């Protein structure tokens, strides 16, 4: 039966396992790499699913030109269309 901790004079008294995190071997974290922090060159078909795009921001083939779209009003971003206009 677990005994609940209680506060006496502003301090926790009782079993420390109830309110404190375990320490030592029980608190070690697994050595897992977050797939969202990997570079695009290190991603392969066996990499876990990512929440973000794996595009390479250092690529030199980024398209920066396009045509200005009508009807943007007071918009400050997204004024240019860069895709195929067919």
If one compares 41 and 16, the residue with the highest pLDDT of the two is: 41
| Token representation of residue 33 | 């790499």
- pTM above the 0.75 mark? no
Q: How confident is the model at residue 3 (pLDDT cuts 50, 70, 90)?
A: low
The backbone region for 74, taken as left when phi is positive above 0, alpha when psi lies in -120 to 50, beta otherwise, is alpha
Q: Between the CA atoms of 10, 11, 12 and 16, what dihedral angle is there, to the nearest 10 degrees? A: 160
DSSP letter at 80?
A: E
Residue/partner pairs of 18-24 with CB below 8 Å, 24 or more apart: none
Residue with tokens 């396992």: 17
Question: So what's the pLDDT on residue 10?
Answer: 78
């Amino acid at each position: 039966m677990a005994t609940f901790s209680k506060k006496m004079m502003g301090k926790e008294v009782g079993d420390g396992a109830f309110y404190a995190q375990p320490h030592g071997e029980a608190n070690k974290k697994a050595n897992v790499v977050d797939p969202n922090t990997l570079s695009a060159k290190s991603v392969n078909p066996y990499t876990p699913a990512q929440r973000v795009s794996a595009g390479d921001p250092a690529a030199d083939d980024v398209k920066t030109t396009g045509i200005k779209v009508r009807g943007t009003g007071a918009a400050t971003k997204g004024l240019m269309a860069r895709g195929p206009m067919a």
